């Protein structure tokens, strides 16, 4: 099992960059300080809730699904890594994005929440969407499941077999044959973006496609295995006998070659547009 979060971080940085890229072009003004969560001012009794602008709710909904749903779940009720935002005191206490914006613009990198450069309007739309969800939950006791499948499956298919080069490593009649039954739409999208089970340094079971490493000594003797950790000074691997081996590094001595089976995915993160991911998701969910 891979226990180093080092190798995961660059991917997250690109991932966050990708998502931020999907949003605003203008760099956001950083808001200083960690927001404290004060006690909620509102009761959940209903009645006190304003009527939110449906157009803003819709824009916020779209942004949320593309930018936040990976972690907070498509319905904002919490996902694999992010908390339920409809029960968040901070969100309850937010007014028009003032609290949510601080978290979104600064992130909480040490806790797994990347920062995003979104405009004040985009943050306000997301906030409006979240408040509308809370209102709906409070008034009806129900949550609507959002439709994440907003892409064009035909375009996704073309991209899969063409420019993206997915078909170079995958087959829709082979390894991805029933991907649409294996995961829900959010899961499919998540696996396109971040296929490795272990994300953001949080271990969640075995890694299916581990990073391997070859360490070649100056005399020519070489060692292969699953990469455990690497930094400027040491590299550790677990060999086929299950033995942990650690080598001291001194520049190129010994020679270290890293093979990441998911490198293709990580490289693609820099290429995707938002609509590419939507289209791919729309295509792959049809593979039942
Ligand atoms: C890569 C995963 C990830 C993404 C993407 C993400 N978040 Fe988060 N978010 C987290 C995690 C993890 C936390 C919890 C941080 C902590 O424990 O303090 C969090 C916390 C928050 C909080 C604070 C909740 C509270 O009660 O303290 C808000 C608000 C929030 N996220 C909003 C958003 C919004 C809006 C987006 C999209 C623009 C987004 N997040 C995208 C992972 C993510
Ligand atoms: C360089 C090779 C390579 C390329 C290119 C590639 N992938 Fe992958 N992909 C992998 C590997 C390796 C895995 C992990 C397989 C495993 O965990 O067993 C994976 C996993 C996945 C998974 C999760 C499968 C599952 O059952 O959990 C999905 C979905 C996926 N890839 C979609 C795509 C899409 C869509 C593209 C094109 C945009 C793509 N991949 C391009 C190598 C690649």
Please check the confidence at residue 14 and state whether its pLDDT lies above 60.
no
Q: How many Cβ atoms are within 10 Å of 20's Cβ, its own excluded?
A: 19
Cα 100 to ligand 1 centre (Å)? 9
Would you say 76 and 86 are in contact if contact means Cβ atoms under 8 Å apart?
yes
The span from the first CA to the last CA of the chain, in angstroms, equals: 30
Nearest CA to ligand 1 atom 36: 68
Ligand 2 neighbours (beta carbon < 6 A):
160, 164-166, 168-170, 179, 182, 188, 191-192, 195, 208-209, 261-262, 264-265, 268, 280
pLDDT value of residue 188: 84
CA distances from 58 to 41, 137, 146 (A): 26, 17, 11
pLDDT digits (tens, 9 = 90+) for 151-172: 899 999 999 999 888 998 899 9
Sign of the C-alpha dihedral computed for residues 24, 29, 33 and 37 taken in this order: negative
Identify which ligand lies nearest to the alpha carbon of 174: 2
Q: How high is the mean pLDDT of the chain?
A: 75
Residue 32 makes CB contacts below 8 A (sequence gap 6+) with none
pLDDT digits (tens, 9 = 90+) for 102-160: 999 999 888 888 888 899 999 999 999 999 888 877 665 443 344 567 789 999 999 99
CA distance 264 to 3: 21
């Amino acid at each position: 099992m891979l226990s180093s979060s080092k190798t995961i971080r660059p991917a997250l940085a690109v991932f966050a960059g990708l998502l931020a890229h999907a949003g605003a072009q203008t760099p956001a003004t950083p808001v200083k300080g960690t927001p404290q969560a004060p006690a909620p001012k509102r009761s959940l009794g209903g009645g006190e809730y304003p009527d939110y602008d449906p157009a803003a709710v819709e824009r916020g909904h779209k942004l949320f699904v593309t930018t936040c749903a990976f972690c907070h779940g498509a319905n904002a009720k919490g996902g694999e890594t992010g908390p339920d935002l409809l029960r968040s005191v901070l969100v309850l206490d937010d007014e028009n994005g003032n609290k949510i914006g601080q978290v979104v613009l600064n992130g909480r990198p040490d806790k797994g929440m990347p920062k995003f450069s979104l405009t004040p309007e985009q943050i306000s739309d997301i906030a409006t969407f979240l408040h509308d969800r809370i209102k709906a939950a409070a008034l009806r006791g129900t949550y609507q499941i959002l439709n994440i499948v907003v892409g064009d499956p035909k375009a996704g298919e073309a991209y899969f077999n063409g420019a993206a080069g997915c078909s170079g490593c995958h087959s829709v009649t082979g390894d991805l044959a029933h991907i649409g039954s294996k995961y829900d739409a959010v899961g499919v999208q998540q696996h396109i973006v971040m296929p490795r089970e272990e994300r953001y340094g949080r271990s969640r079971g075995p890694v299916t496609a581990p990073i391997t490493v070859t360490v070649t000594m100056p005399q020519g003797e070489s060692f292969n295995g699953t990469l455990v950790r690497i930094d400027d000074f040491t590299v550790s691997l677990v060999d086929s006998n299950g033995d942990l081996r650690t080598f001291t590094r001194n520049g190129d001595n010994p020679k270290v070659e890293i093979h990441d089976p998911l490198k293709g995915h990580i490289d693609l993160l820099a290429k995707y547009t938002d609509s590419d991911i939507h289209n791919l998701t729309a295509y792959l969910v049809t593979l039942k």
